């Protein structure tokens, strides 16, 4: 008798694209490699709860980290470990719990996966109150084990590295609860591309050094960055691709300032970041968990500029300590590092070599494999009369 496909519900939230991108990576990997064994449905719990309130909270959150980074750092550090401070997020999980419970009842998933901290907190609360009984997974999308990800009734964690796994075990979690699979990225980032062909597609010259500049959505590129880009293009024979994301104001500024520069390409939010990474020699970006994981998948050297307080700082330190990225905190330092990487192919090659040693190309695959094994084991417990062999390969 053919086994029914596992119905996996992924709960996410779009405070930063990374949580949603990780969810989509799971969905696309399931379609590509596990289509006979699993189907994945994604729900943004913030949109589910209240679209208007969500938009307001997101704006306030981004304004907080831009204008009051010290306050954000204070709150992040105070809530890092379990304490009375770490309970300040509880009202948010209470507010959303009844709608998520109704959603779970309607969809009847076999497994629940959370790629967003608030989703993890809410689902854990529902399970703790015995309102749901499905296995619950949390995918931590940064190099951190902050308490806003960790909850009593989460059955299993998918984490970015063995270092994070060790930290979580030291904090009291069972080793069997944690899989160090890496941060899931979409299958498109794992493919090999013809640089010559892609360069022609995107109107670039493949023989010229190409810089990919990202981070506009979080206000990384102010006037100082635009002036720096102009200086680089005047002094070096390079081409620069600027990705402004959903920052329409920045996109218009770039188009106006650089319209006469054929070596500068400005774009807004695009779905083909994997192609832009494939034709680039290095990237200047923020230290978001998904962006860095995607760059690692393309073995793309990274210059991480002014990481946001909290998880971005932790991501940056992780990669810098392992020789996979350089860290810049002010424009003068950034310019020096860019000049070195432009002039030294050997410096870029050394970073790429470190990335190859560190990166796990099968993060999404391993995460789904782990989830399906747990699902099969749960079914074996309930259906001992007809046990199913473990799903170790798709």
Which pLDDT score, from 0 to 100, does residue 262 have? Answer: 92
The tens digit of pLDDT for each residue in 307-341 reads: 887 888 999 999 999 999 999 999 999 999 999 99
The tens digit of pLDDT for each residue in 268-293 reads: 888 899 999 999 999 999 999 999 99
Pick from 20, 33, 99: which is nearest to 371 by CA?
33
Is the per-residue pLDDT at 393 higher than 70?
no
On the 0-12 / 13-18 / 19+ scale of CB atoms within 10 A, 149 is: buried
Tokens representing 22 are 């990780």
The tens digit of pLDDT for each residue in 201-237 reads: 999 999 999 999 997 555 557 788 889 999 999 999 9
Q: What fold, for 6-182+361-382?
A: Rossmann fold (3.40.50)
Equal fold, 6-182+361-382 vs 192-358: yes
Pick from 315, 333, 335: which is nearest to 325 by CA?
315
Q: Average pLDDT, stretch 60-84? A: 72
Pick from 12, 218, 8: which is nearest to 117 by CA?
12
Q: Average pLDDT, stretch 184-190? A: 96
Q: Per-residue confidence at 83, pLDDT binned at 50, 70, 90?
A: low
The tens digit of pLDDT for each residue in 4-63 reads: 789 999 999 887 788 999 999 999 999 999 999 999 999 999 888 766 766 677 677 777
Angle between helices 363-382 and 17-33 (to 10 degrees): 70
CATH of 192-358, one of 3.30.70.100, 3.40.50.2000, 3.30.830.10, 3.40.630.30: 3.40.50.2000
Domain residue ranges of the chain, discontinuous segments joined by +: 6-182+361-382, 192-358
Q: Supply the pTM of this predicted model.
A: 0.89
Is the per-residue pLDDT at 390 higher than 60?
no
54-63, 171-180, 343-352: lowest mean pLDDT where? Answer: 54-63
Higher pLDDT, 48 or 197: 197
On the 0-12 / 13-18 / 19+ scale of CB atoms within 10 A, 374 is: middle
- Residues 6 or more apart from 334 whose CB is under 8 A from it? 228, 284, 303, 305, 328
> Could you tell me what percent of the chain has a pLDDT over 90?
62
Which pLDDT score, from 0 to 100, does residue 1 have? Answer: 44
Tokens representing 106 are 């309607």
> Could you tell me what percent of the chain has a pLDDT over 70?
88
Which pLDDT score, from 0 to 100, does residue 144 have? Answer: 85
CB 280 within 8 A of CB 252: no
Which pLDDT score, from 0 to 100, does residue 345 have? Answer: 96
């Amino acid at each position: 008798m053919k086994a029914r496909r596992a119905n996996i519900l992924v709960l996410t939230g779009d405070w930063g694209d990374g949580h949603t991108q990780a969810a989509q990576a799971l969905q696309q990997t399931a379609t590509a490699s596990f289509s006979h064994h699993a189907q994945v449905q994604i729900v943004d719990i913030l949109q589910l709860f209240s679209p208007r309130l969500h938009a307001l909270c997101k704006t306030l959150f981004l304004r907080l980290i831009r204008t009051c980074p010290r306050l954000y750092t204070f709150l992040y550090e105070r809530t890092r470990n379990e304490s009375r401070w770490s309970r300040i997020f509880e009202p948010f999980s209470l507010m959303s719990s009844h709608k998520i419970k109704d959603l779970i009842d309607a969809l009847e998933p076999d497994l629940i996966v959370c790629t967003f901290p608030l989703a993890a907190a809410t689902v854990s609360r529902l399970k703790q109150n015995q309102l749901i009984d499905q296995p619950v997974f949390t995918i931590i999308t940064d190099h951190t084990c902050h308490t806003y990800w960790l909850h009593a009734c989460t059955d299993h964690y998918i984490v970015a590295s063995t270092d994070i796994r060790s930290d979580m075990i030291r904090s009291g979690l069972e080793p069997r609860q944690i899989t160090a699979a890496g941060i899931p990225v979409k299958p498109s980032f794992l493919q090999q591309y013809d640089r010559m062909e892609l360069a022609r597609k995107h109107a670039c010259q493949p023989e010229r050094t190409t810089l990919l500049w990202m981070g506009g959505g979080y206000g990384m590129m102010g006037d100082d960055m635009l002036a720096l880009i102009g200086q680089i293009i005047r002094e070096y024979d390079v081409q620069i691709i600027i990705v402004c994301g959903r920052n329409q104001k920045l996109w218009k500024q770039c188009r106006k300032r650089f319209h006469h520069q054929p070596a500068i390409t400005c774009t807004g939010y695009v779905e083909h970041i994997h192609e832009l990474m494939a034709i680039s020699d290095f990237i200047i970006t923020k230290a978001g968990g998904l962006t860095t994981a995607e760059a690692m998948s393309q073995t793309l050297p990274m210059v991480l500029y002014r990481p946001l307080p909290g998880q971005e700082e932790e991501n940056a330190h992780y990669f810098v300590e392992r020789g996979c990225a350089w860290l810049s905190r002010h424009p003068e330092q950034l310019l020096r590092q860019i000049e070195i990487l432009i002039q030294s192919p050997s410096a870029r090659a050394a970073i790429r070599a470190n990335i190859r040693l560190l990166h796990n190309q099968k993060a999404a695959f391993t995460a789904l494999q782990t989830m399906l094994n747990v699902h099969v084991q749960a079914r074996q417990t309930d259906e001992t009369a007809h046990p199913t062999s473990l799903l170790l390969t798709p």
